[in-house]
Structures are given as C-alpha cells and as structure tokens.
Amino acid sequence: MNRTPLALLSAALLFALPLAGQAQQGPAQQGGTKPPARPPVAQPGQRLAPISLQGRYLAARVGEQDHDYDAAADQMDQALALTPLDPELIYAVFRLRMYAGRIDSAAELAPAVLSTRPGDGFANLVMAIEAIKKGNYKAAEQQLTRIGSENQLGALREYVMAWLKAGDKDYAAARSYLARLKPASGERAEAPALVIAAQIDEMAGDKDAAEAKYRRAISIDRNGLRTTISVAEGLRRLGKDAEAREILKTYGTRYSDSVVMDGLMGPNAPMPKPPTPASGIAEILFDIGGILASDPRNQRQDLALIFYQLATALKPEQDFAWLMIAGLYEQFHQIPKAVAALGRIGPTSPLYWQARLRTAALDAQEDKFDQAVARLRTLVAEKPDRIDAALTLADLLRSKDRFADAVAAYDTAISRLGKPDERHWQIYFGRGIALERTKNWPKAEADMKKALELSPEQPYVLNYLGYSWIDQGIHLQEGMKMLERATELRPDDGAITDSVGWAYYRLGQYEKAVEWLERATEQKGDDSTITDHLGDAYWHVGRRREARFQWERALHQNPDKDRLPIIQDKIANGLNPSNDKPTVYEKAADTKQGG
C-alpha cells in the first residue's frame, strides 16, 4: 500500500481530532504518553532550521491541547502546504479550522474530505451551511441526507428540514416536519417549537396564524429571554409594536439585574429582520451547542464551540452564541479570544450590557485592573438605575484589598436597591466584610445582621459573624451556635471548619481546637492559614514536634507576606506571647489592665 508522509509519522505523534460526539483522549488515556514538547524558540542572534512536517504537527498538537485553535490551525495550514494531497492531513486541517471558527476556509476543504469520508457529519454540515447562505436549499437538503452515523443534529434535524422546505416555499412540507416533533401542551419545548412555527407562518404570509402562535408561546414561557425577544420581534414585524415593547418592558422590569432591554425598546430601535432559513437554522445550531456545553463531564465543550461558531456563520448577529463562545474561551483560559467574542456584541443587542460587564471582569483576570475599574466606573455612571456594575466594581475592589473604595461602591449599589429581598444578602455581606477590614465594626456588624435578616441560613454569613464575635470576646455562646450551624449547612467546607477550630482555640479549648482543625486540614490541606492554625493548636496540647512540622508545611503553602516572619519565628522559637494569639479571656484581661 502506498503510504503518505502523514502515515509514516509515529502513532504517538498523530494529530487525532475527535469525531463528532467523541471525547478526545488525554495523555493518561494514551498509555501515559507525555504531551509533545513545544517547538524550540530562537534566541537572540540564533537561526533555527525550517520547521519540518513533524514539527508543524507537534506545534499544532500543543496549540490544540491549550485550546489555542488559531495557532494550531496556522501550524496545520503550513503542514498542508508541505503535503497538500495527503487525505489524513486535509481532514486534520479541516477539523482544526472548524474549531478555530474559520468556517469559510473549512468549507474550502470539505469537498476533499467528503471524497474519502462521504458520510462525515461536519463536512456535510459545512457544505449545507454554505448552500443555505447562497439560498440553495435543495443542495443543503441533499448534503444533510448524506450525514453518517455521527450525526449531531439528532431530533432537531426535523426542524432544520422544515426551515429548508420553507426556504423553497414548500410550506406544507415544512409544517409536516414540524408536526413530527410537536411537543405536548405544557412541555418545556412547546414555546420554542411555537416560535419556529410562527416564524414559518410569517414567511408563508399567514399573519393571523403567526400572531396566534407568538401569543401562545409568550403565555407559556414568560420567563424565557430568547422566547421573549423572538415573540417581541415577531409582533413588531406584524405591526403590534406597542404590545411588543410592553412585553420587553415587563421582562426588563421583572429581571432588572439580568439583561437590559433598552436596545430593543428604544425609539430608534431598528425593525427586526424577517425570519429566514439561515436565521432559523442558526438558532437550532445554537441549541445543539447548548446541549453539548451542558455535558456534566465537561467533555464536549470543544464540539459545543463548533456549533456556536456554525450558528454565527449563518447569523453573525447571534449574540447569544457570541456570549457562549466567550464563556468557553474563558474556560479554556484563552482570555483575549473571549474578549474578542464579546466585542462582536453590538450596542443594540440586549446582551450588550452583559458583554461589557463581562469584558471588565476579564480585564481583571488579565491583571488589567485599572482598565477594568475604568470600564466599570463608566457603566456605573451610564445607568444610574442599575446595581450590577456597581456591585461588580465593589467585589473587584474588595478582592484587591481596596476596602475603602469597595465600601463606596457597595454604598452606590445599595442606594439603588429599592426594597432589598433575599437575593441581595450578598451585597450587605460584601460591604460588611469591607467595613470590618476598615476597622468599622459597628457598621460591619449591622450589615452582617441585615444579610442574615434577608437570608437567615446563609452559612458564610453565620461563619463570618459568629467568628468575629468570638474573636472580639463578645456574644460567645451565640457566636459558637452560629459557627456550629454553619458547619451543619456546609460540613465539607474547610474554611468554615477552620473557623470553628480557631474559635475553640481563642476560647482556650485546645483539645477541641485540634479536633476541628485536623478535620479542616483534611478538607482543605493546601491552605496555609489552616495548616498554621493546626500547628498552633498542636503546640498548646504538647505535640510540639508535630506543631513545627505543620508550620514548615504552612511556610511552603504561599502564606501572606506579613505572615512569613511570624511562621518562621514559630519554627525557630515555638509559640510565645509575641507570635501567639491570646485567648479571648486573656485579651479581655489585658484590655482591662491597659484601661
């Protein structure tokens, strides 16, 4: 048999992208094979030899493992230039272009892929999408009938076929396909199915039928954002502008902290585009992506990314898809790509505000703190009736120990609340923490109590307030009850378990402290503070060799810089009044003597 250059590569180096629906094996599943080394980088003044075919493969493999599909696709494109007729290489390049969202360039290779893999799902699907974009619905239908056993469209294929028939103005056939999947009344899928049917009625010119279906859809799914937008857009196209705006306004009021509807309700909002097979099928591809992304084992995110990108190839303004693409890139730690995806969401989109908030948060992840703060301050000023930007700013400032600034941002958010309800406990809790760190305990305590008033069983508030009381030597019995209740609610939370142990330590009950702190280290063994606490407790019960062992461990667990000299002092000299926390009783006695 004639073996191509690709086939001659070692099996361990083959770039094997998964077939649709298959999870890719990692190194452990491949017999423990280590990931390939990254290609060498030239040092100043050094010239490297041209990268070989194998080198391109290795570089692409590294890019794929890092979810940097653009870099991987670039490397594979260059490999293809070296062996342009290799069918396995063509197939690998096609797949990587799909992952990178280069749908048009993937389509250029699809015929070559189909010449050796006629039933390949993605190659046929890409060809169908190209035909849909050109309005050639019969050709698209033919491509879809060739999809083999790896078909990812599943039951939703009937909806795709319905749209294609509608594109050819065969509305009877379109409705026949819809009837095959008609959900029972009250099923979760009934509303989106009604929206599709209404849109096809619109295309057919049956305005009364479309209007009735739109009304039915919104009556059974008033909480669905996509249903709300689709129905409002449909009613606007049918001349029911006032009613459409009222639907959007009602949703925006009900979910004021989730999505801004201003872009769709404004006086200059453009008339929604009429439904087309391209826009309708884009929605179905988006839904398939959502099904794949929700895989509880997180093994199908890459395939989800492809379907979201296919949706945007058919409908570039599919902003829900761009938002999900950004989310996946964030999971993949490809933050610049996530920001770029969010940048595709325009000012008239109901997701524009959310995209800008998310972009600021991503800036913070990339250590662009000042830029993130500047973006958020702009948003805070831009919408004085909203709390989300102020709250995001407050949380960010608190995470960077800018506690006074955080308090000011929380003040802004709380001033915009109106009547707080249970979901707002986190705002008071966050401000309470920031106030405590600025030494303003009376106000901090009031906020903690307010958080518990709104949500009485919040374990993190119970933990923080209960420990704070014990640490100050006040409300000892009530504080310990709060801590015990927090551990009942979160029995496996090492931080809360540590609080109970450290509270017993501050009460001088060292044996109990050891018991709880040992449990905390089992739950969260890599936490320097917990390890340090356990060492202190061991010292007080006479287990001094074990105490020093724990302090040594704490020293290598990235403690806060201000804790380093204290831990080192404990290792060298043991506990003494200069490095030990007194019991609350000793602290109280010292306070009285000092007074």
465 located within any domain: yes
Q: What is the pLDDT of residue 257?
A: 59
**Last residue within a domain, chosen from 241, 257, 275:** 275
Whether 99 is in a domain gets the answer no
In a domain? residue 445: no
Which of helix, strand or coil describes residue 38? coil
Handedness of CA 275, 278, 284, 287 (dihedral sign): negative
Q: Is residue 590 part of a domain?
A: yes
User: Does any domain span residue 575?
Assistant: yes
Range of the domain at 255: 182-275
Instruction: Residue 195: give its domain's CATH number.
Output: 1.25.40
Picking from 458, 329, 485, the residue whose alpha carbon sits closest to that of residue 432 is 458
pLDDT for the residue numbered 386: 87
Residue 266 lies in a domain: yes
Which one-letter DSSP state was computed for residue 68?
A: -
CB 449 within 8 A of CB 429: no
How many domains would you assign to the chain? 2
Consecutive 10-residue averages of pLDDT for the chain (595 residues)? 30 28 32 39 45 80 88 90 89 94 95 93 93 96 79 74 96 94 80 95 97 95 92 96 91 73 75 95 93 82 94 95 96 94 91 93 92 96 91 95 96 93 95 96 97 96 96 93 96 95 95 97 95 97 97 94 94 94 74 50
Contacts (Cβ under 8 Å, ≥6 apart) of 383: 260, 353, 389
CB burial class (10 A; 0-12, 13-18, 19+) of residue 557? Answer: middle
Q: Is residue 362 part of a domain?
A: no
508: left (phi over 0), alpha (psi -120 to 50) or beta: left
Residue by residue, DSSP assigns 245-304 as: HHHHHHHHHHTTTT---HHHHSTTPPPPPPP-HHHHHHHHHHHHHHHHHT-TTS--HHHH
> Which of 39, 33, 40 has its CA nearest to residue 14?
33
Look up tokens 């007729």; give the residue. Answer: 85
The confidence score (pLDDT) of residue 184 equals 79
Give me the amino acid identity at 543: R
pLDDT at 348: 81
User: Which residue, among 83, 111, 119, 113, has the nearest Cα to 95 in the 3D structure?
Assistant: 113
Report the C-alpha gap between 590 and 204 in whole angstroms. Answer: 86
The confidence score (pLDDT) of residue 150 equals 52
Query: Which pLDDT belongs to residue 33?
Result: 34
CB 76 within 8 A of CB 109: no
pLDDT score at 590? 56
Contact (Cβ atoms closer than 8 angstroms) between residue 162 and residue 200:
yes
pLDDT, position 451: 97
> Is residue 405 in a domain?
no
Domain boundary among 275, 302, 336: 275
- CATH number of 472's domain: 1.25.40.10
Question: Which of these three, 275, 309, 324, is where a domain ends?
Answer: 275
